[in-house]
Amino acid sequence: MEASQIEISETIPASRKLQRDDAAALLAKAKTMVVSKGKKVTEFSGGKKASEEALDAMLGSTGNLRAPIAVIGNRIIVGFNEETYTDAFN
């Protein structure tokens, strides 16, 4: 992030477990969400009528929000994929 001169406005420690309700609140405010799991990248619609599949994609096997998560304007990026981050910040 520093190399791209991106300012992080909020950091949440891993000890604070964010769960399904937190994920739903984030997704309700977003227009779109991109989820990266390994090399697989999937895009979902956000908003108050977001799908259960989108919500499930935000959560790990423990039921907690997956990391990292970046909120960029009205878009959420879940997981890490270098190309997705490069596209989002350029």
Across 58-82, average pLDDT: 91
**Residue corresponding to tokens 């779109």:** 32
The pLDDT value given to residue 5: 63
What is the band of 64 on the pLDDT scale with cuts at 50, 70, 90?
A: very high
What is the band of 6 on the pLDDT scale with cuts at 50, 70, 90?
A: low
- Regarding pTM above 0.75, the answer is yes
Domain regions of the chain by residue span:
20-89
Report the 10 Å Cβ neighbour count for 6: 13
Q: Alpha helices of 16-69 — where are they, by DSSP H?
A: 20-29, 52-58
Tokens of 14: 């891993």
Distance CA 85, CA 80 (A): 8
What is the band of 1 on the pLDDT scale with cuts at 50, 70, 90?
A: low
